[in-house]
Chain A
Amino acid sequence: MDEIFADIMTTLTTPAGLAALGQVIMIDLVLAGDNAIVIGLAAAGLEHKQRVRAILIGILAATLLRIVFAAFTVQLLAIVGLLLAGGILLLWVCWKMWRELRRPGHGGNPMHASAPPPKSLGAAAWQIVIADVSMSLDNVLAVAGAAREHPTALIFGLGLSIVLMGLAANFIAGLLEKHRWIAYVGLAIILYVACDMIWRGFSEVQPYVAAYLAAALP
């Protein structure tokens, strides 16, 4: 108990602690952005009660994944191709969202006469969790060493990002329901994240593939 209190005091009263806190707050604000857009996109087609549940599932999954991935950062960094796999997974989520946006009920092609079944909570939750896996992986690998010596700052940052993700995702889902065309902008942003991950992942894998091909081909 004394150690926890001492760490809180160190974080709040020393320049190094305050710098770590500022760093974690800014990083967590930045990291919550992509999760908030994906959760908002996936939850936008749901009715109010289900939307709240989907957002809760999304922020819980993102938080748990960040903690788990942070605990195994060293092992994860050793796996070649993880970023590429995450990017491809996120690209698949983009494709699923694109198809949903193109459905008649979502302002897609009005020529389709038969109304498709409404989006289910399970489908939305699945999309959110897969996207969270990809993006949390990318984010945790990026912030591997940030403020590790200040657990108070890390816990505060995690709490802040949970609150921010929930509020932002709720706002964004509401905005997308009112102005459906903005969902295409959101999808383009997530597509950018996926392509960026694939590009960086491919650059990481390329030397290994080239070495393998050089050894395999006569």
Chain B
Amino acid sequence: MLELDIPISGFPFPLVLPAVSVLLIAAAGVFALFAWWTGRARRDDHVTPWDIAAALTFLGCAAAIMGEVEHVIEYFWPQETRTQPANG
């Protein structure tokens, strides 16, 4: 979907959303580990680290879907075999 090819501070544009997705899921993992380590209850009326981990996971999944896996795959291909969207 994202056909723009603008490098952001040297980072290839097609990889921005997949990278954001990986970062969000990693952050979710950190919150989940923290919640597990501190023994926080999963069901609570207040916002818990589990909720934050779940929200970050949801956002990470959404970013992954919007990012389009084709761009990630193409970016790992040799330069000469790439098609337009992943030339960044």
Contacts and interface: CB of A to CB of B under 8 A. Distances in A.
A41 B25 CA distance: 18
Interface string B29-67: 000100000000010000000110111011011111111
Nearest to A172: B58
A34 B65 contact: yes
Given A23-B76, A164-B25, A182 B58 contact: yes
Contacts of A143: 69, 73
Contacts, number: 89
B28 interface: yes
Interface stretch (A69-77, A79-87, A185-193): A185-193
A171 interface: yes
A136 B32 CA distance: 27
Interface stretch (A6-14, A25-33, A58-66, A208-216): A25-33
Contact of A174 (B21, B50, B73, B76): B50
Contacts of A34: 61, 64-65
A15 B67 CA distance: 26
Nearest to A31: B69
A192 B69 contact: no
Given A174-B54, A196-B1, A30 B62 contact: no
A146 interface: yes
A174 B50 CA distance: 9
Given A26-B18, A26-B22, A178 B73 contact: no
Interface of B is mostly: helix
B58 A37 contact: yes
B52 to A, nearest CB: 10
A186 B58 contact: yes
B25 A27 contact: no
A149 B31 CA distance: 36
A67 interface: no
Contact of B65 (A33, A40, A174, A178): A33
A124 interface: no
Given A26-B18, A37-B65, A175 B73 contact: no
16 contacts: A19-B76, A23-B72, A29-B22, A29-B25, A31-B64, A32-B61, A33-B60, A33-B63, A37-B62, A146-B76, A168-B61, A172-B54, A189-B61, A189-B62, A189-B65, A196-B1
Given A139-B69, A186-B58, 7 more contacts: A29-B21, A29-B25, A30-B64, A142-B69, A142-B70, A175-B55, A185-B62
Interface of A: 19, 23, 26-27, 29-34, 36-37, 40, 139, 142-143, 146, 164, 167-168, 171-172, 174-175, 178, 182, 185-186, 189, 192-193, 196
Closest 6 CB pairs of A and B: A33-B64, A33-B61, A175-B54, A171-B54, A30-B64, A23-B76
